[in-house]
Amino acid sequence: MAPDIPLQEVSRAKKAEREERLARRPEWRLRTKVPPGLTDISALPTSQLTPREYDIVHLDATALAEAIRARRYTAVEVLEAFCHVATIAQDLTNCLTEVLFEEGLRRARELDRHLAETGQVVGSMHGVPVSIKDHIMVKGHDTATGYAAWAFRTVASKDAVVVDVLRKAGAVIYVKTANPQTLLVRRAAAQALETD
C-alpha cells in the first residue's frame, strides 16, 4: 500500500483480507450468539465441533503426530479441525492476524499423499498444525507485529529459522496470531536502537 494511506484504511484493508479468507469456509463460523454478560467464553471455540474434531483438537502434538502416523487421522482432517476452532476463536476474540488455511490444506494433502505412497512420515511433526505469532516471518505473509503502519509493507521474503525447522519436521503452518502488547514495545525499542 502507498505510504500516504491513512492507517484506518490500512487497518480496514487488512481486516477485509482476513475476512475474505475466513468467509471461504462459512461452515466453520460461530453459529451461536454469545449471551450478553458472558465472561467465560472458553468453551465456545469447541462447542460446534463434531465428536471426532473435538477429540483431535484435544490431543497434544506428540499424540497427534502418532495418530497421523498410525493413520487414525489424516493430516487434512486434523488441519480442518484446527481451522474450525481457529475460525470460531477469531469470531470471538479477533486473535488471528494472517489466515493461511488454503496453503496449509495444500501442505496437508501433500503430507497425506507422501504417507500413502511411501509409508513414511516427513518428520516428527508430520501433519501437526502449528500457529505462528505475528512477529515471526512466514514466507509470503505479513509480519506487521500488530502495527497498522507495517501492514502490507513487511511481507516476508523467507521463512524464519523456526518456521523452516517446523516445516522440515512435517508441521503445517495454518495461522499467524496476535502478539502481546509488550512485544510491540520491545520490537519498536529494538528498531530504534538499530537506527541510532
The per-residue pLDDT for 124 is: 97
pTM: 0.89
Contacts of residue 126, defined as CB under 8 A and 6 or more positions apart, other chains included, come to: 65, 68, 69, 75, 111, 115, 169, 170
The per-residue pLDDT for 184 is: 56
Q: Determine the Cα–Cα distance for residues 58 and 163; give it in Å rounded to an integer.
A: 23
The per-residue pLDDT for 169 is: 98
Mean pLDDT in order along the chain per 10 residues (196 residues): 77 94 96 88 94 98 98 98 97 95 98 98 98 95 86 93 98 94 59 59
The per-residue pLDDT for 80 is: 98
Alpha-helix runs per DSSP H in the chain? 7-22, 51-57, 61-69, 75-93, 101-118, 161-168, 181-195
The per-residue pLDDT for 108 is: 98
Structural domains of the chain, with CATH: 7-32+40-195 (3.90.1300.10)
176 contacts 115 by C-beta, under 8 angstroms = no
The per-residue pLDDT for 193 is: 59
